[in-house]
Amino acid sequence: MTAPPLLIARSSADVKADLHRRFAEAIDPLLDAAASGELRRARDAELRLWIAMIAVGRAVLVVLFAMLCRRRTEDAVRGAGLEMSDVEQRMDRDYWTTLTSTFGGVSFPMAAYRHPETGRTEVPARDVFPLYPKVRSSEVCVEWESMLAADHPFRKAADALGFFTHGAVDLEDNTIERHAVMVGSAIPQCWLYLTKDEIREALLKHATCDAKTGRPIVYVSTDAHALKRFVDETWKPEWKMINGIRVWCVDRDTGKIIHLGGEYTWGDCREVAERFVALHTMGLVPSDGNYGDGLVAQVAILTDGLDWIVDHVVPLFPGAVLILDVYHVLEQVAEAARAAYPRSKRKAKQVSIEARKALGVRNRRGRTVNRKGSRRRRHGKRPPGSAGNAGKLVPVLERLHKAAKTKRGQERVEKAIAYVARNVGRTDYGDLRERGFQIGSGAMESMHRTGSQIRLKRAGCRWTGEVAQAILNLRMLTLVGRWDDYWGQPDLMRTLADREAA
């Protein structure tokens, strides 16, 4: 779309008149078609209006971009102690720019000028589009590309852009990938979490409190899952563990999870520890829970009990309440029971039931029976669980060890016993529940689905570390609800441009 000839005229009235003419040329045929009965379907009317409005919008955008460029040039000329009448304007095609906008391709003059003393051609308006010429999409178009790439495969993102803009935007999938990686790779860690003030407000007004101390509870957790990744110049080592971090609290009124922030890293346990140290430094998760101004939260570390977490993460929170995810304990017992009784599902299930009783964990509710009218049955409230911990589980596992007839079964039971013994100090589930703590890491596990797996763990997907990390950053930025704030930064494009030039 080229700029209308009147665009370079100094009279804004002429420019407005030209745009009004274009608007009338687009709308009048639609009104005539509706009046004559040519338009018979609501769908046709709406689609034709979209096409007309996109054409008009593209013309208006050309004018707006050109006016922004001209204003930037005027400011630069005046800053040099000159007037626009003193300089020679360059309107030849070498100093026009073409961008893909959300209304389609637009082409407009950059309002370049030749300096009367140096003879050099200056283009101050390059500051208006700092990513050009490396990125030939407008800022809003780059944002749309990034948002779609965070949710869809790149090819489908390209198709979606074309569909929802009625063909105005036509980009290749590798272009969308490049732009999304550029943006996602530049998102700082702090943007993946709520601000310190927002976290303080959530803890003060909404978070459940520790019944023992009265402090609002802030949960932190870390867990890993596998994605297919290109490693060491080959696809052969297909699976690579990626570590997730989540911070959350629980709404005292509704019991729902309040997401305070989270992120993913391909780094090892040391990298995860460094991420937590950074959260300390930013004040988002203080090591002692002290958010200042009298607010001291109770930090709770809820994990699956792996050794690296105990060695590298737990020491960073000296006053934290340590909780072992109860379902990981039950999973260990269930696997040991299946190994000890490979031919008897009934006996293995009985061991799992005994384990639940020892831990004071209620059995799962059965299926709801739905019937109409007076015969409809509803389950009553589940009885509260009794106090229990992993120490009461040891006798159950010891009996299971004696009952195991095979070496494999005995070794698997011994592994479960070692796991329980190593984490027994974090399993006082009866006391934890009375104080109002969660004892399951479902919040951490659910973040894997929404933050990572729903996008990256698709059939046939394999990732380079850079692309996967960028997509994860974009998704976590959306999950924490800071997308609009991030894109609203006035210097964001300049930051991206400086990063790309480095």
pLDDT of residue 4: 45
Note the pLDDT of residue 367: 46
Phi, psi for 234 (deg, rounded to 5): -150, 155
- What secondary structure, in 3-state letters, does 368-408 show? CCCCCHHHCCCCCCCCCCCCCCHHHHHHHHHHHHHHCCCHH
Classify residue 209 by its DSSP letter.
B
Q: What local confidence, expressed as pLDDT, does residue 490 receive? A: 92
Residue-level pLDDT at 363: 61
> Can you give the pLDDT of all 502 residues of the chain as single tens digits?
444 443 444 578 888 888 999 999 999 999 999 999 898 899 999 999 999 999 999 999 999 999 999 999 999 999 989 998 889 988 888 899 999 999 999 999 999 999 888 889 999 999 999 999 999 999 999 999 999 999 999 999 999 999 999 999 999 999 999 999 999 999 999 999 999 999 999 999 999 999 999 999 999 999 999 998 887 777 666 788 999 999 999 999 999 999 999 999 999 999 999 999 999 999 999 999 999 999 999 999 999 888 889 899 999 999 999 999 999 999 999 999 999 999 999 999 999 999 988 888 766 554 444 455 555 444 444 444 455 566 788 899 999 999 998 999 999 999 999 998 888 888 888 889 999 999 999 999 999 999 999 999 988 888 999 999 999 999 999 999 999 999 999 999 999 999 888 7
- SS3 of 92, please? coil
Distance (Å) of CA 95 to CA 7, 66, 111: 15, 12, 8
Q: What is the pLDDT of residue 239?
A: 80
CA 469 to chain centre: 11
CA distances for 57 relative to 14, 53, 101, 173, 281, angstroms: 18, 6, 10, 25, 46
Q: Is 82 helix (H, G, I), strand (E, B) or coil?
A: coil
pLDDT of residue 120: 92
Q: What's the Rg (C-alpha) of the chain?
A: 31
CA distances in angstroms from 336 to 235, 347, 388, 491, 502, listed in the order given:
34, 12, 20, 57, 54
Residues 6+ apart with CB under 8 A from 335: 412, 416
What is the SS3 assignment for 350? helix
CA neighbor of 22 nearest in space, from 37, 2, 42, 36 = 2
